[in-house]
A and B are shown apart, each in its own frame.
Chain A
Amino acid sequence: MEAAVRPAWIGLALAVLVAAVAVQPSPAQETVRPIAPQDRLSGSAFMSAEARALQADDASNPAMLWVKDGEDIWARKTGVAERSCADCHGEAGASMKGVAARYPAFDPASQKPVTLDQRINICRTINQKAEPFAPESQPALAIASYVGLQSRGMPITPPDDKRLKPFLEAGRSLFGLRQGQLNLSCANCHDALWGGKLGGSPIPQAHPTGYPIYRLEWQGIGSLQRRLRNCMTGVRAEPFAPNSIEFTEIELYLAERAKGMTVETPAIRP
């Protein structure tokens, strides 16, 4: 309904920001002090009262439309195995409680960490003998929202698993790596400049507490990887491929960084 080009002062605000963080000659990897645990804030804390009210009321939160779809998927027999998620896992309220709060987790079969979406797709292919859900497809987002909701209110608890360590460290490095034509790292914005503004939008601390989220700008629901892609294209970097190990590594680091924070799935974000 409106032109994509936002007012010029947005560009100006960003120019100031780029100047603020880019003046010093920078090694590709520098250290920005991480946020102290007691200073951590969910993205909700940076939202308007109206957006928070929308998230708080399940009868008006549009993300609940996808949760409802996910509930149907959970109960539907499918694939060559003709099994539903419920056939093996029973009540999601019991079997999936806390599961989303501890993903990504290590997958012994592939000897790699997997995201929750990937873990669900392992069940699709191995246990249901069905086609995996395409990344960012409506059913993938629906089932992830439904499984995610079962952890709402619980603390993020990354697994204490030695096998995850190298991937977690790779994620930490990626978070501090300057990328794209604007040469900014995730840490430049989210550790150093959170609370500031970028073209009218507050810069949050980048905690993965609410995913999948209903983003007002998307007018729909999306995954954490879609959100990260937005930040990468924002600095004019080539986003990692969907479901690439780099995305999983960043997700691992984000979970570690948000350890103990409360799951809000399905959250609203501007």
Chain B
Amino acid sequence: MPSPATRRDVLILGAGAAGSILLTRPSAATPEQMREAILELTNGAPIRPGKVHIDVPPLVENGNSVPITVSVDSPMTADAHVTLIALFNEKNPQPNVGTFRMGPRSGKARVATRIRLATSQQLTAIARLNDGSFWSDKVDVIVTIAACTEDS
């Protein structure tokens, strides 16, 4: 007869059994810390919603590698272009994800990368234009398996 699985067995299997690395939950960034990080970028200048588009799957099966593309509506000419795109999150241990600098030679204001998400949360992308204005987009992402689990 099979011995009934205990709840502990079950949790261990769910968690993927013994790893050589102990993963502890670091204190997560807070929405407040994210606001501070954004303030550092904008120096208090107003941020308008619009122009920026975050493209990320709304439901993520593995938080270790989440494909994300940020694009900005801009002609990318010498007169009118994006100089910087910054990506922030509110619940990873640190609010900054990545900062990308570009200019009229980029042709398009678009960057794609892969990021880690510790848990379901909101992402914010902010673009700075050459006229000094800031624009933003926000999206919610649901993560079903968090980043950095290990089971081998």
**A interface residues with partner B (beta carbon < 8 Å):** 1-6, 8, 10-15, 18, 22, 25-26, 47-51, 53-54, 178, 181-183, 199-201, 216-219, 222, 226, 229-230, 233-236, 270
* Residue B13 CB within 8 A of the other chain: yes
* Residue B17 CB within 8 A of the other chain: yes
Known: A181-B5, A235-B13. A217 touches B151 (CB 8 A): yes
Residue contact A219 to B64, C-beta cutoff 8 Å: yes
**B interface residues with partner A (beta carbon < 8 Å):** 1-5, 7, 9-19, 22-26, 57, 60-67, 92-93, 116, 118-119, 144-152
Closest 7 CB pairs of A and B: A10-B14, A183-B2, A2-B146, A233-B17, A3-B25, A4-B23, A216-B62
Provide the residues of chain A in CB contact with B146, threshold 8 Å.
1-3, 6
Residue contact B5 to A15, C-beta cutoff 8 Å: yes
Provide the residues of chain B in CB contact with A230, threshold 8 Å.
16-17, 151-152
Q: Can you list 19 A-B contacts (CB < 8 A)?
A: A1-B118, A2-B146, A2-B149, A3-B23, A4-B148, A4-B150, A6-B146, A10-B14, A11-B13, A14-B13, A15-B7, A18-B4, A26-B1, A48-B57, A50-B66, A51-B62, A200-B61, A230-B17, A233-B151
Known: A14-B10, A233-B151. A4 touches B65 (CB 8 A): no
The residue on A at minimum CB distance from B14 is: A10
Provide the residues of chain A in CB contact with B23, threshold 8 Å.
1-4
Cα distance A9–B3 in the bound complex, in angstroms: 21
Provide the residues of chain A in CB contact with B61, threshold 8 Å.
47-48, 51, 200-201, 270
Residue contact B152 to A11, C-beta cutoff 8 Å: no
Residue contact A217 to B64, C-beta cutoff 8 Å: yes
The residue on B at minimum CB distance from A201 is: B145
Residue contact A50 to B64, C-beta cutoff 8 Å: no
For the complex formed, measure the closest distance between the CB of B2 and the CB atoms of chain A, giving whole angstroms.
4
For the complex formed, measure the closest distance between the CB of A133 and the CB atoms of chain B, giving whole angstroms.
18
Cα distance A216–B149 in the bound complex, in angstroms: 10
Known: A6-B15, A48-B57, A230-B151. A1 touches B116 (CB 8 A): yes
Cα distance A50–B2 in the bound complex, in angstroms: 39
Provide the residues of chain A in CB contact with B11, threshold 8 Å.
5, 8, 10-11
Residue contact A182 to B19, C-beta cutoff 8 Å: no
Contact residue among A182, A216, A219 (Cβ-Cβ distance under 8 Å from B13): A182
Residue contact B145 to A26, C-beta cutoff 8 Å: no
Known: A2-B118, A217-B64. A18 touches B16 (CB 8 A): no
Provide the residues of chain B in CB contact with A222, threshold 8 Å.
152
For the complex formed, measure the closest distance between the CB of A236 and the CB atoms of chain B, giving whole angstroms.
6
